[in-house]
């Protein structure tokens, strides 16, 4: 019996993610995934009991990678608005990529009785957004943002970025996001976010 390895598991998840993007979740079989990996279906089922389990792993893989890249850009020093713009560019670049879009489409097409979407939100997506909220909370405590509910601030930040390009990408009205457009949206979002949550100016600031 082969010993399970983290490397093999990740290889399977990456292969499944690629096929979900190319063929769609419904049209991707476990046999196709095992062929892609280059092993047997028995080996595949040794790691994942079902295609639904594999979908859960793909969703987790996608969000974990995106969160890591985004928070590497989180502004901690230098020009704050410029830092927020870089953060927004990183977020939108990942948000509009093929795999995240395919994952959202898959979740939206699951049967009404499926619990995968709820599980994904509660165990993976919501905790990731809570990390951003915690970052904003720390900035509020340090005076770089005004005092407010950090979670609501995080959701407003998300909405300012998703509002223009995400829906178009999701329904296929936008095939390839233009980096210039991504930068424009992120720049405007940073400006709007700071108009809402920027620190209140004192009388001395106006002098």
Instruction: Please tell me whether residue 55 adopts helix, strand or coil conformation.
Output: helix
How many helices (H) and strands (E) the chain has is answered by 11, 0
Annotated domain spans of the chain: 1-49, 51-200
Topology classification of domain 1-49: Arc Repressor Mutant, subunit A (1.10.10)
Per mean pLDDT, which range of 7-11, 37-41, 154-158, 188-192 is the poorest? 37-41
Long-range contacts of 149-156 (CB under 8 A, 24+ apart): 153/197, 154/129, 154/130, 155/129, 156/193, 156/196, 156/197
pTM: 0.85
Task: For residue 168, count other CB atoms closer than 10 A to its CB.
Answer: 13
For domain 51-200, which architecture applies?
A: Orthogonal Bundle (1.10)
Reported as a single tens digit per residue, the pLDDT across 62-97 is 888 777 777 777 777 778 999 999 999 999 999 999
Nearest-angstrom CA–CA distance, 137 and 148: 8
Reported as a single tens digit per residue, the pLDDT across 106-122 is 999 999 889 999 999 99
Helix ranges restricted to H, 73-200: 80-95, 98-109, 116-120, 126-141, 150-170, 179-197
The backbone torsions φ and ψ at residue 111, rounded to the nearest 5 degrees and listed phi first, read -55, 150
Nearest-angstrom CA–CA distance, 21 and 17: 6
Instruction: Please tell me whether residue 95 adopts helix, strand or coil conformation.
Output: helix
């Amino acid at each position: 019996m082969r010993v399970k390895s983290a490397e093999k598991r990740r290889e399977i998840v990456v292969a499944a993610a690629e096929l979900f993007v190319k063929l769609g979740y419904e049209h991707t079989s476990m046999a196709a995934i095992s062929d892609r990996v280059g092993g047997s279906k028995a080996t595949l089922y040794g790691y994942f009991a079902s295609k639904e389990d594999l979908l859960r792993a793909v969703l987790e893989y996608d969000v974990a990678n995106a969160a890591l890249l985004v928070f590497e850009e989180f502004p901690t020093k230098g020009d704050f608005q410029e830092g927020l713009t870089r953060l927004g560019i990183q977020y939108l670049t990942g948000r509009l990529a093929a795999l995240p879009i395919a994952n959202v489409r898959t979740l939206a097409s699951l049967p009404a009785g499926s619990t995968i979407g709820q599980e994904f939100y509660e165990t993976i997506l919501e905790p990731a957004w809570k990390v951003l909220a915690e970052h904003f909370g720390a900035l509020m405590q340090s005076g770089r943002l005004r005092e407010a509910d950090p979670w609501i601030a995080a959701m407003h930040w998300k909405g300012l970025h998703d509002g223009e390009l995400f829906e178009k990408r999701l329904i296929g009205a936008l095939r390839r996001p233009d980096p210039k457009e991504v930068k424009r949206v992120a720049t405007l979002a940073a400006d709007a976010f700071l108009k809402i949550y920027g620190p209140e100016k004192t009388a001395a600031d106006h002098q």
